């Protein structure tokens, strides 16, 4: 089996994005729940568990931003008008270059 370098939850190699100690605090009950989850095998370490949760939350935040931008664009009359024009241009080109079969 090839020697694989450890990767972070984001898929980046550790050497490209080294760990950094942070000063965040969480409630005792959250810390206890993380410890219990790791004891039960949910992750290899508390750090890995917390990092995975943070990466998941950040991914969801980015997803929401993208969908919010889509929603804003859908309410923009200039944008929707341009999109309709592009759609009509493509509709007229759909059959270009196709031979009729008889």
> pLDDT by residue (tens digit) across 38-48?
999 999 999 99
Convert 8-34 to b/e letters by CB count within 10 Å (16 or more is b).
bbeeeeeeeeeeeeeeeeeeeeeeeeb
> pLDDT by residue (tens digit) across 8-40?
555 656 678 999 999 999 999 999 999 999 999
Q: Which residue has the higher pLDDT, 15 or 54?
A: 54
Distance CA 51, CA 9 (A): 7
Asked, for residue 30, whether it belongs to a domain, the answer is: no
Q: How confident is the model at residue 62 (pLDDT cuts 50, 70, 90)?
A: very high
Asked, for residue 38, whether it belongs to a domain, the answer is: no
Asked, for residue 55, whether it belongs to a domain, the answer is: yes
The pTM assigned to this predicted structure is 0.64
In the chain, the number of structural domains is: 1
Asked, for residue 36, whether it belongs to a domain, the answer is: no
Asked, for residue 37, whether it belongs to a domain, the answer is: no
Domain limits for position 74: 45-89
Asked, for residue 3, whether it belongs to a domain, the answer is: no
Asked, for residue 14, whether it belongs to a domain, the answer is: no
């Amino acid at each position: 089996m090839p020697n694989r370098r450890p990767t972070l939850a984001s898929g980046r190699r550790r050497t490209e994005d080294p760990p950094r100690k942070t000063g965040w605090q969480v409630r005792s009950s959250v810390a206890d729940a993380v410890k219990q989850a790791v004891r039960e095998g949910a992750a290899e370490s508390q750090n890995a568990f917390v990092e995975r949760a943070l990466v998941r939350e950040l991914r969801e935040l980015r997803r929401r931003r993208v969908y919010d931008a889509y929603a804003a664009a859908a309410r923009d009359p200039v944008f929707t008008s341009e999109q309709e024009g592009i759609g009509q241009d493509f509709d007229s080109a759909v059959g270009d270059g196709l031979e009729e079969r008889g």
